Each structure stands twice: as C-alpha cells, then as structure tokens.
Structure 1
Amino acid sequence: MRILYLVHRIPYPPNKGDKIRSYHILRHLASKHEVFLGGFYDDPEDREHVDALSGFVAESRFEYLDRRRLARAGMRALVHGRPVTLEMFDDARLHEWVAGLQARVPLDACLVFSSSMGQYLPGGSGERLRTVVDLVDVDSEKWREYAHKSHVSLPMRFVYRREARLLQRFELDLASRADATLLVSEQERELFLSLAERAGLEVRERVFSMRNGVDTEFFDPQRSWPRPHDGEGVHLVFTGAMDYWANVDGVEWFVREILPRIAEHRPDVRFHIVGSNPDPRVRDLAGEHVNVTGRVEDVRPYLAHARLAVCPLRIARGIQNKVLEAMAMGLPVVATPEALTGIDCSVLSEFCTGRPDVFAENVIRLLDDADLHRELSATVRAHVERHFSWEASLGLLDELMAS
C-alpha cells in the first residue's frame, strides 16, 4: 500500500511521549508499505533528523513550527472561530505538498496522527482514501481540565474552555468522517465515546483503543550503564519534556509538597528531573536535594542508577511512556492515579495516591524495604514484557489500514 502519514511532530528521535508512539508506527508501516511522511518539527535541533528518516519513507516534507506563531494563531482562531490548536498547525506549504502528492501519487490510505493534523486530510473529507485517525488522547479534555485548575486566571479559563469546546467539535467531526479512530487506552476510548454519544454520533464500531508499547530490549536493566551523577545517597528520577505544563506542575508539586517529607526521613535523597527545555520554574527547583539536568542524550543511565521513579502528574491523558520505560528498567514507580491510567498494573496501585503525605510514605517505604523493592522491581519488568509489546499493539493498525 501507498500510505500518507501526517504527524504534528517529527517522529525522531523517539525521546518523548508522542514521538515514541509515532516513531514506532512509522517503523512498523515502513517495513510493509510505501510511506509518504509529512508534518512539523518544533525544535531547531530536530531539523537534522529529517534526513535520518529518509531510509523509512518514499518522500517526506517537514515545516518548522516556530513558537512565535502562537500569538498569530490565537488571533486567527478568534477571527475564524476555530481552535487555536488547528490554527497553530495550519501551514499553506504543507497543504500544498499534500495536494500535490495526491495529484501525482495514487495513494491508498492516509493515517493522521493527532487531531491537529486532521485538517490535512486529502480532498477535505478523505472519502477517496482509507482514512485512520490516531487521536492518541482526547486533547479537548486536557484543555477542559486546565480550565478547572484553581490557579488559572479568569481570562485563561475562558481561553481554555473555548479551546476545549471547539477542539472537541473538531475531534468528533474527524471521527465521523474517518474509517477508524484510535485512542491510546480503553479509558480514553470510553471517554471519547461518551462525548460522541452526547453529541448524537454513532461511531462506536469505528473507534478502537491501541495502547502504547515499550522497547524492552532498548530499556534493558541487565545492561551496564555509566553513572550519570556522583552516586552518593538514594536517587529518585522523573523523566519528560520539561517545558510541558503538566510535567512542570507535577515536579513543582513534588518538590514543594512531597520531597521535604522524604528528605526529613532520608536526608541523603536526591531527586533528578531529567528532560529537555526545563521551564524557568523547573530550573528554580534545583538545590540541595534536586538536580535539573536539561536535555540528555540518553535517559537510561538515570533510570538504571535510580532507586525509584516518581510520576506526580496531576493532569495526564492516556498512557505515560515515562512510567512504562521506568518499569521496563525494573524501577518501582510511585505515582498519582492520573499517571497510571491505562497501565493496569495491580501491584503499583498500592503505591498510587494523590495525597502528598501518603505519596511520601510510599517512597520512604520502598527506600527502606529492600525485599519489597526487589520483588516490585521484578514484577513491573514482567508486566511490561507481558502486556506492552509494540508488535502486539500495532497488529490492530494493520487490520484497520487494510480493511
């Protein structure tokens, strides 16, 4: 098959949540089909990776998504009555490439990754091509959750509510036109179906959950990894893009509300915040017990030399790759309920809480009890090996693309 694959962020290197999923989808499709890849890169350093994808695809086109476009996108969204998300990713050059590709290549199918790329469906409706939309998460609900956060100003609450309302309308319209729609977990699927039913849409038979996987050979706890820090004390780790609001909120909450309780019991504790582009609020957290690394080439040494992973997210959609990767490295994870959605690991539920005092107690318990730590380490590794294979997940995509 000749497949047009549209992504909102270049799927290489696979070093953050959405790029991990889109990369494994690309690699899988390219092993069986002729793929034409189009989308954006928002980090200037990612421009060099466009050529790295040439071995996967027949043709590609990427445009630079300059963050300075956001103000203009906001103004256009107000004028046109559209979500800011769509205006942000609306690019005349990419539209032209898609239209030109369709005119000269007899495409068989189109896979759209994220709602923001749905506006590029060839021919507007996608009727001529087999069309699969991978929403991944219900993004509109993320904006709705932001609007209900207590610290959000009244003007921003209006902005977030508007974005939630308009983006949800577009997500539902996409699902009504697509041959199949994917979400990352059964929980996200049921949420989306409830929104569709409320809107009077009959799409249940065309909406599926396709969970993320984890590369257990890449994340191998048996390998020897160089020590990324001085090694003294006990080490906790959080990984993720540190300019992403939910990650910023999570680590701020952990450092201010939870870490002091842990440090009182374990003065030698060290918390490593590992991820690119740390927000100024994250950089300000650095101190006696906190190390903010910024961008690292490889997160595995930090995982390998940590005692525990923590995932204190208070807003989260879908499945957290950071949790799966830590589990694959044999790291017990202490997390909030939001961070464990879709992972369905019963043994971790005992260490899952949104209360700062209980969160700290769970961390201390795992730091102090070597036998419990050893048992949990083996259990979480076995769980991802058994339930989070990319090969098993992507089998569904093969069926949907060929139907």
Structure 2
Amino acid sequence: MKILILANRLPHGNVAGGHRLIYQRMRQLVERGHEVGLAAFIDPEEERHLPELRRMLFEAETVPAKQRRLAVRVFRDYVSGSLPAIFWKNHAPAMMQLVGDLVERSKYDVVVAEFSEMGMYLYRNPYLSAVHKVVSCHRCLTTTFANYIELPGIPLSLRLKSASQMHVLEKYEFELYSAMDHILTLTAEDRFALLRHAPQLPVSVIRPGIDFDYLDREPTTAAESPIIMMCGYFADKSNNDGALWFAHEVWPKLAGKHPKLKCIFVGTGASSEMKQLSEKESRIRVCGHVDDLRPYREQATIFINPMRLGSGLRVKVLEAMATGLPVVSTALGVAGIPAQNGVNCFVADTPELFAQSIEWLLSDARLADGMGRAAKAMVQRHYDIRSAIRELEQVLAEVVSI
C-alpha cells in the first residue's frame, strides 16, 4: 500500500509520547514493504531530524508550525466560529494545499491523520481528490474538554474556555469523523467514548506497540540520589496540569522526609509556572528538550504520571514500564492499560496516596524491583510492536479494499 501520514508535530525516534508512536508505526510499515509518506508541521529545532526521515520514507514534506498572536489566541479560545479553537490552532492553508498536492502527485491509497486535529485536512479540503481517509484518534477532544469543565481544581479560565467551545467542538468533531472511512483509537475505552456520541462510526482499536529492541541497551551509571521522573509534551494542558499538581500537592509531602530525593520533568513546552519550580526548589529540575529519553529513564528511580485531564493511552507509561521502572500514576494516567494496583504499578488519585505510594517504593527496593519486572512482563504480553502493526495493516487493507 501507499500510505500518507499527517502529523501536527514532526514524528522522529527521539520524541516522546504519541508522536513517537507515529514514528514507530511509519518505520514498521516501511519495514513491511509499504510506501509511506509524511506531511507534518515542523518547529525549527526539529529540522535536523528531517534527513533521517527522508531516507526512511517514500517522501516527507513539512509546513512551518505557526506561532499565533496572543490576542488572537485568547479571542479564539472564547469566541469560536465554525472551526473550534483547538482545530484552528492546527489550521494552515499551506497544509491544506500540501495534503492535496501529495495525494494527487503520489497517488496514495489511504491517508491517515494522526490526532483528530489533523483530520480537518481530510474534511472539507478543497484541494483533496478522492482517496481513502482514516483518522487515528489519540484522544476524544469532546471528552477531554468535558473533563476540563468537570474536574475540581481546574483554573476558572480553562473551565470557561472549554464551556464556550463544547457545543461547536462536539458538532465539528463528530461531523469530521462521520466523513471518514474509518476511525482508529488506542483503547477500548476511547472507542466506546466515540460510539456513545456517534454509534454508526466504524471504529477499530489499534494498540500502541512498544519497541523493546530500541529500549533495551547498556544501562548508564546509576544515579547517586533517588530520582522521580515525569516526561511529556508540557505545552499540552494535561501534562502541564499534572506536573504542577505533583509539584504543589505531592512534592511537599516527600521533600522533607527524603532530603536527597530529586524530581525531573523532561520534555518541551514547559510553561513559565513550570520553569519557576526549579527556581523555588533546587531539587526540582525542568529539563526541556532532550535528544534521547533513555538515559533519563535509566537514571530514574520512579516514573510518575500524575494526569488529571484528557483521555487516550499514555505511551510514555508503557515505555517506562517496558524498561522496568516502577510507575506511580493516577487512574486516568493508566486508563486503557492492564494496570494492577500494587502488582505492576501504584494507582493513586489523592496527593496523600500518591506520596505514600512513592514512599513505599523508595523504602522497599524489593517491592520496587518486583513491580518493575511485573510491569515489563505485562507490556511484553500485551503491546508487542509487531502484533500492533499487523493489526493496523489489516485495518488499512480493509479500508483500501472498500
């Protein structure tokens, strides 16, 4: 098959989370003999990854990511036209034309929009000729915004923005899905969430695959002090909220009892409030962009995922588990994962229990080691990358044969 992938950020081998999943899917599809193209938004610091992608793929074309003016962003957050703000933030006429040009020029069999926001380039695109269309929904946006409105402790500004967008977002999101040939989700929970809104949608669950060959390597020297690690794209509201919740609500319960304990937040897009954390507390470090997450995971003692917002499956949690790191997460942070509290991870939704779970792991090396081994075995059983890519390949083949 000839498959065109659309992404709102350049997917490459050193990126974390959902965009690393996209990179793995592309690489595996190429290895299985498919011709894979890419159209993606790109930031200047990611341009150095383009040569490697172009060697691997049939073709890779990019559009510069836009920096919207603050006043315009604020206006769109509260006052939306026919295009909801979260789609507008990813909208560019140049990408509309690029997608149309690539489909026409290279005669793709199917186009897969990774993340729902990129689905707009397959919906009402005046440049797009007839082609099979699939949206890979990493999270239901309507469900995510509903969480913003309902969850206690969310800033009033975010609640108001979400409430003002809900009607137009739900209408647009599900009209878009209905115009596609197929929808993919990462978990059964997300599939059911979509079907509650639109029971007629053709939806398949394609689990993320974890690349153990990439993760298994010679370990670095162990850290002298215990380290708590969180990683992610912190421009995302759910990651930013989780990091700040941990720093403000959980960290103070640990810091005094464990004077050598450190905490690192690894990933791009940190807010000004996140950056101020390390100024107030020397043992908290906000690392920003790194070329390779593996050394940070190897140095870490515990991986945390204090997510309170959003939906979808967290690939970063699976990768941490695959390396044998003990994980402490909220229930939402391990949604869709076969998480067994006290066996392959700790699940905690209150600051007190979250801190207590970390303390148990810090004080009991046997518990931490056993939990890490149980988590790695679970990921090996359920998230083999080769099985996942065969499932994706089968769904795409069925779509193309229609």
Q: Same fold (TM over 0.5)?
A: yes
Task: Rate the CA distance shift 1:225–1:45 in 2: closer, same or farther, 3 A.
Answer: same
1:172-183 alignment runs, 5 A limit: 172-183=174-185
Deviation at 1:338, TM superposition (A): 0.9
Task: Rate the CA distance shift 1:72–1:393 in 2: closer, same or farther, 3 A.
Answer: same
Deviation at 1:96, TM superposition (A): 2.1
Secondary structure of the structure 2 residue equivalent to 1:254:
helix
Task: Rate the CA distance shift 1:108–1:376 in 2: closer, same or farther, 3 A.
Answer: same
Match of 2:373 among 373, 378, 395: 378
Deviation at 1:89, TM superposition (A): 2.4
CA deviation map 1:110-165 (0-9, x unaligned) = 21212222222288598932222111211222122223345556564343124333
1:3-402 alignment runs, 5 A limit: 3-31=3-31, 32-41=33-42, 43-68=43-68, 71-72=71-72, 78=79, 80-121=81-122, 124=125, 128-150=130-152, 156-197=158-199, 202-203=200-201, 206-220=202-216, 223-226=218-221, 231-286=223-278, 287-348=281-342, 351-402=346-397
Deviation at 1:54, TM superposition (A): 0.9
Distance in 2 (alpha carbons) for counterparts of 1:387 and 1:144: 30
Deviation at 1:347, TM superposition (A): 4.6
Q: Which moved more, 1:352-361 or 1:101-110?
A: 101-110
Distance in 1 (alpha carbons) for counterparts of 2:379 and 2:363: 25
Distance in 2 (alpha carbons) for counterparts of 1:155 and 1:60: 38
Distance in 1 (alpha carbons) for counterparts of 2:18 and 2:41: 13
Q: How many residues align?
A: 392
Paired residue type of 2:214: F
Secondary structure of the structure 1 residue equivalent to 2:5:
strand
Distance in 2 (alpha carbons) for counterparts of 1:122 and 1:172: 11
Q: Which moved more, 1:161-170 or 1:335-344?
A: 161-170
**TM-score, normalised via structure 1 length:** 0.88
Secondary structure of the structure 2 residue equivalent to 1:393:
helix
Does the 8 Å contact 2:230/2:266 carry over to 1? yes
Alignment gaps of 5+ in structure 1:
none
Task: Rate the CA distance shift 1:101–1:272 in 2: closer, same or farther, 3 A.
Answer: closer
Q: % of aligned pairs identical?
A: 28
RMSD between superposed Cα atoms in Å: 2.5
Deviation at 1:262, TM superposition (A): 2.0
Does the 8 Å contact 1:14/1:23 carry over to 2? no
Does the 8 Å contact 1:98/1:122 carry over to 2? no
Alignment gaps of 5+ in structure 2:
none
Distance in 2 (alpha carbons) for counterparts of 1:119 and 1:225: 43
Secondary structure of the structure 2 residue equivalent to 1:55:
helix
Paired residue type of 2:244: E
Paired residue type of 1:377: G
CA deviation map 1:286-321 (0-9, x unaligned) = 224322222222222222122211211111421112
Task: Rate the CA distance shift 1:401–1:127 in 2: closer, same or farther, 3 A.
Answer: farther
Paired residue type of 2:190: E
